[in-house]
Chains A and B, each alone.
Chain A
Amino acid sequence: MCLAIPMKLLEMQGVRGTVELGGVRKEIMLTLTPDARIGDYVIIHAGYAIEILNEEEAQQTLDLLREISEIPADGTAD
């Protein structure tokens, strides 16, 4: 049960939060991510946020991978 997906934190009341993805809202617990702030993407597992998504790192990963995908792997033009 490692199933965990990133959802956006919309509301917080103490240790409870409301997250959203694709228009679906869910109430979850923020006990394990005390530094989470509204607007963060948090990783949700079994009703708890277990980490905050680092958007900068996410963007860097995407940019790096897009670089890879633009340069043909064998050096020849596409």
Chain B
Amino acid sequence: MDDKVITLGHGAGGEAMRRLIKELFVKEFSNPLLNTLADAAIVKLNQNQLAFTTDSYVVKPLEFPGGNIGKLAVCGTINDLVVMGARPLYLSAGFILEEGFPIRTLERIVTSMSETARAAQVEIVAGDTKVVPVGECDGIFINTAGLGICPLGHGLSESPITEGDAVVISGTIGDHGIAILAAREGLALQTTIESDCASLHDLIGSVLNELRGVKWMRDPTRGGLAAALTELAESQQCDILIREAAIPVQDGVKAICELLGFEPLHLANEGKVVMVVDSSEVERVVALLHRHALGHAAAVIGRITGYGKGVVRIETEAGGIRRLHRPAGELLPRIC
């Protein structure tokens, strides 16, 4: 690795982070399970297939329209299990607290975690608490690890991704990224955009219970839809074409992106899933998503166009076609 120090870019979910993971963590820890770099590791234990994942949460501000760091910590880890086709069962919760952190705030955060977990029928079964002196951590950092069991419903299809498969998004993109941005100081923006922070167990369960044609899923968090799709293309070496005009974006998100020069495709989502679906089932998948409160804006946004270099292309609103790359450079720090 050439980099001398860690920069914010290393945590941004883009190029730099990918290199750090590949050239340090994967290189050192290397094993077949880790090397797939999926949202959760699928572990075989006796007769069972378990999903195991972990995430840490450093979002700022701690409380934002649509959620807080606690709700995020529960939903985010549950979602990493669910998108691997697993039924989420257990979470651990580790807290690093700064001396002086208000207990009232902590109570709100923990209550939120409890409510969110219960609603998902997930139990928080292990935890840890550490307190560090003032100035040595920013308020609160949370780590959650999650354990789930495959399959959720029929689970992920065993069929490989093929040309003609559809790419489906469960709803509007960029909501979380913009809600966080707007909640930070210095922008003088008033908006009703809220984080989409939500647990997807029921939404995805409603699809996987009925159908067998969902081949791949990801929750597009840091790095947004662009990062999720480029990862898909590279890991499967498949080529993807998406249509900008088909991607659902709330007017307010679009306006703020135009105002500040952001791309909705690069912004974090915390309550959305992107799926690759067998073409024969795509209409039914979209119909099932539409029936669910969290999936009302679901849409087909593109297709797998074949196998080649693992390239994602986008047809812009103006009709031109260009590459969609993984986002690079510093985006919004501490977005999740």
Contact = CB atoms under 8 A, between A and B. Distances in A.
A7 B190 CA distance: 14
A10 to B, nearest CB: 11
Nearest to B256: A24
A23 interface: yes
Contacts of A22: 250-256
Measured as residues with beta carbon below 8 angstroms from the partner, the interface class of chain A is 10 to 19
Interface residues of B, number: 17
A24 to B, nearest CB: 5
Contact of B261 (A3, A7, A23, A44): A3
A63 interface: no
Interface string A40-73: 0000100100000000000000000000000000
A24 B188 contact: no
Contacts of A24: 189-191, 193, 252, 255-256, 259
Interface in B179-202: 188-193
B254 A26 contact: no
Contacts of A27: 188
A38 interface: no
Interface in B245-297: 250-256, 258-261
A22 B253 CA distance: 8
A23 B250 CA distance: 10
B288 to A, nearest CB: 29
A47 B256 CA distance: 13
A26 B190 CA distance: 6
A24 B189 CA distance: 7
A47 B188 CA distance: 9
B189 A25 contact: yes
Contacts of B261: 3
Nearest to B178: A24
A21 interface: yes
Interface in A1-31: 3, 5, 7, 21-27
Contacts of B190: 24-26
A5 B254 CA distance: 12
A55 B14 CA distance: 41
Contacts of A44: 259
Nearest to B190: A25
Nearest to A5: B258
B1 to A, nearest CB: 34
Contact of B189 (A3, A5, A26): A26
A27 B259 CA distance: 13
Contacts of B259: 3, 5, 7, 21, 24, 26, 44
Nearest to A25: B190
A23 B252 contact: yes
Given A5-B258, A5-B259, A44-B259, A26 B251 contact: no
Contacts of B192: 23
Interface of B: 188-193, 250-256, 258-261
Interface of A: 3, 5, 7, 21-27, 44, 47
Given A25-B189, A26-B188, 14 more contacts: A5-B255, A5-B258, A21-B258, A22-B254, A23-B191, A23-B192, A23-B193, A23-B255, A24-B189, A24-B259, A25-B190, A25-B191, A26-B190, A26-B259
9 contacts: A3-B260, A5-B255, A7-B255, A7-B259, A22-B253, A23-B191, A24-B252, A26-B188, A47-B188
